[in-house]
Structure 1
Amino acid sequence: MSRSYAQERREARAQRIERDRLRTALHRERRMAAALRRAAGSIASAQYRTGSIVAYTLRTAGPGSGKSLARAHEEADRRERALAARAHSAGQASRALAGASATAAARAAVLAERRDHLKTARTRVKRGLRAARGELRKLAATAARSGSCGGLPRAASRAAVEAAPAPVPRGKWTRPVEHYRLTAPFGGAGGHWADGHTGQDFAVPVGTPVRSIGSGRIVSLTCGDGFGISMVVRHRRGWYSQYAHLSAALAVPGERVGAGERIALSGDTGNSTGPHLHFEVRRKPSRGSSVDPVAWLRKRGVRV
């Protein structure tokens, strides 16, 4: 929806520019046509008064020009034909520009109406998305307190998985989320971390799909501690990835997942200062063995 709205705005602006250009060209052509008609009128007036167009040509050429009568007659005749042709072309151009200008103006009006319609629809979608995110936060908080770890109804989980993009090819790695902003880095100090920050935070809205960075098996789904709703996936060669502060899980322990497969929705549960995904890469499933996840992904060809 947002891309269509932006495209419509760009197209409407281009149509307005084209409409203004055509109007300017139309005015210029009309002025030229008027000037040509005045020049042709002068020739016709001279011919009427003198009975010959040659007299007008000789007068405009000036005395002592040395032109013969035959050459003067040919020159006058050539100029008259050229003026008539230019006046005809100018008239055709004026009519064509007038039609194009009217078409551009009509197109701009249609695009403006569509732009307003898309703007209204976009506002309506945003309101619905805010309401859905608010409801998801409430459900996640309730689930975390009850110890259910925020699993969604199976139908909702299946719909989210079916809407996911195609999995990453086997043996490849990917980012845990898309359209994010990096915030607290690995190793950062602060009041929220007793021994330094053990992962990388990705600032994303509540409900953002969280993807497994690689193929593997879900080994744990926990809730109620500082990580809130949290999931750990075991990958080949003994590597583990953790996804914390979730609002809902789309998979369960023991389930195999592919690289890029959606496994959860981001949230704001646990010891969190705002909506984001806390992401870790570890050598063991338990805490205390984490490495810099951004550097780890970059070594595997994933830019973060």
Structure 2
Amino acid sequence: MRSYRRHRLVVPVLLCALTMLAARPTAAPGEPGSGTGTGAEAGLSAEVARLYEEAAVATQQYEAGREEAERQRAEAQRAEELLDAQRRHIASLHEDLGRIARAQYRTSGGLPVAAHMILADSPDGLMRGQHAFSQAHLAVNNAISKNQRAEARLAADEARAADRWQALEKRNVQLAGLKADIEQKLETARSRLQGEADAAVAAGACRGAVRLDQPETGFTDGDWVAPVETYVLSASYGSGGARWSSRHTGQDFAVPIGTPVRAVGAGRVVKVSCGGAFGMEIVLKHADGYYTQYAHLASLAVDQGEHVSPGQWIGQSGTTGNSTGPHLHFEARVTPETGSAVNPVSWLAARGVSL
């Protein structure tokens, strides 16, 4: 079964400038994981990590814009209903004006005051006529004034609605363009990163740790986390397939190349290697005696012998080794070697991490 989980990003919006630390001695050829990548390699890994975070932020902003558009669309629909009511009211006022005008015409309401005086049968009749004329004149003026005010409100409301829509559409177009531009740059950088990783694995020599700035996680040494923040679960533990000699020994997380891979808990790096079925891989030993493996990576961010903390970035995902597409292969083991794996989903669940 596929599951999907999203977590809140912990890096500041568009301010995650990732840089490498001070250069360390480079490993001798064939000596895995005991040095630092070259400046170009470290810069590329940092660029992928930075673009990865920027793309995530841009996606969040774009999705927020889409949600705002939906809210605005609902508000616009309500506003349109109110505008329709105003239009009906104005139409009713127009009908009232027409009735008043026709009534005045039939009752000679348009005659001058002198004519009313001549035609009046008596002073009382003259007063009644004048009162009726004044009332009709006042009603006409009030109706005209109400109609003018209603039409002015309608025009203002329609203008405001149009302005809101134009501003919203412009903002969403800008966000979509920004998101597409970042994603294009990220895709190019990912391709380059994977190409360098494939070359290193083919040579059987890891390029060395690429030091990236670590996010502020807030985790303590007793915490446990998922190995990646955003993912889709793919091949599960124990599943069969032509790619494995017997059964799948881990849990696969389908993630794009360059996705930061995290240590699931505090531990020590006991193995860093390149080549073979797992491609670039890291194995950690944890305080409770268990081991975790992170395989098919595109870059390494730790060296053998280092201590790591929960949530620390230890590498970037890829598709090196025996892999049919970008993903992280994660195992929980009793020993550091292949063949001692346990169900990683249950293992993480026992430590409070639900995938």
1:23 Cα offset (Å): 4.8
The answer to whether 1:110 aligns with 2:164 is: no
Residue aligning to 1:56: none
Corresponding residue to 1:139 among 196, 211, 229: 196
Q: State the alpha-carbon separation in 1 of the partners of residues 93 and 303 from structure 2.
A: 79
Residue aligning to 2:208: 151
Deviates more, 1:91-100 or 1:273-282: 91-100
Identity of aligned residues (%): 37
Tell me the amino acid that sits aligned with residue 96 of structure 2. L
Instruction: Check the 8 A contact 1:150/1:247 in 2, yes or no.
Output: no
Q: State the alpha-carbon separation in 2 of the partners of residues 12 and 285 from structure 1.
A: 51
- Cα distance per residue 1:166-195 (max 9 Å; x no partner): 142331211001221111111122222223
Corresponding residue to 2:299 among 228, 243, 248: 248
Deviates more, 1:143-152 or 1:220-229: 143-152
2:163 partner SS: helix
Corresponding residue to 2:158 among 77, 89, 101: 101
- Matched length: 281
Tell me the amino acid that sits aligned with residue 121 of structure 1. L
Q: Summarize the Cα distance change of 1:170–1:89 in structure 2 as closer, same or farther, 3 Å threshold.
A: farther
2:212 partner SS: helix
1:37 Cα offset (Å): 1.8
Tell me the amino acid that sits aligned with residue 151 of structure 1. G
Residue aligning to 1:57: none
Matched ranges for 1:264-275 at <5 A: 264-275=315-326
1:291 Cα offset (Å): 0.5
Q: Summarize the Cα distance change of 1:146–1:293 in structure 2 as closer, same or farther, 3 Å threshold.
A: same
Q: TM-score, normalised by structure 1?
A: 0.80
1:217 partner SS: strand
The answer to whether 1:130 aligns with 2:190 is: no
Greater RCO, CA 8 A, separation 6+ = 2
Residue aligning to 1:35: 95
Tell me the amino acid that sits aligned with residue 178 of structure 2. A
Q: Summarize the Cα distance change of 1:292–1:46 in structure 2 as closer, same or farther, 3 Å threshold.
A: same
- Cα distance per residue 1:133-179 (max 9 Å; x no partner): 100110111122233324354xxx233x2xx2414233121100122
Q: Summarize the Cα distance change of 1:46–1:233 in structure 2 as closer, same or farther, 3 Å threshold.
A: same
Deviates more, 1:243-252 or 1:139-148: 139-148
1:237 partner SS: coil
Q: State the alpha-carbon separation in 1 of the partners of residues 148 and 161 from structure 2.
A: 20
Deviates more, 1:168-177 or 1:133-142: 168-177
Residue aligning to 1:62: none
Residue aligning to 2:225: 174
Tell me the amino acid that sits aligned with residue 95 of structure 2. A
Q: State the alpha-carbon separation in 1 of the partners of residues 305 and 327 from structure 2.
A: 25
Q: State the alpha-carbon separation in 1 of the partners of residues 334 and 135 from structure 2.
A: 93
Corresponding residue to 1:213 among 264, 273, 277: 264
Whose helix proportion is higher, 1 or 2? Answer: 1
Q: State the alpha-carbon separation in 1 of the partners of residues 295 and 182 from structure 2.
A: 28
Deviates more, 1:107-116 or 1:22-31: 22-31
Residue aligning to 1:55: none
2:349 partner SS: helix
1:78 Cα offset (Å): 8.9
Q: TM-score, normalised by structure 2?
A: 0.70
Deviates more, 1:209-218 or 1:141-150: 141-150
Corresponding residue to 1:225 among 276, 283, 298: 276
Instruction: Check the 8 A contact 2:104/2:110 in 1, yes or no.
Output: no
* Structure 1, gaps ≥5 residues long: 52-73
Q: State the alpha-carbon separation in 1 of the partners of residues 205 and 110 from structure 2.
A: 108
Q: Summarize the Cα distance change of 1:97–1:16 in structure 2 as closer, same or farther, 3 Å threshold.
A: farther
* Structure 2, gaps ≥5 residues long: 1-57, 112-130
CA RMSD of aligned residues (A): 3.1
Q: Summarize the Cα distance change of 1:85–1:271 in structure 2 as closer, same or farther, 3 Å threshold.
A: same
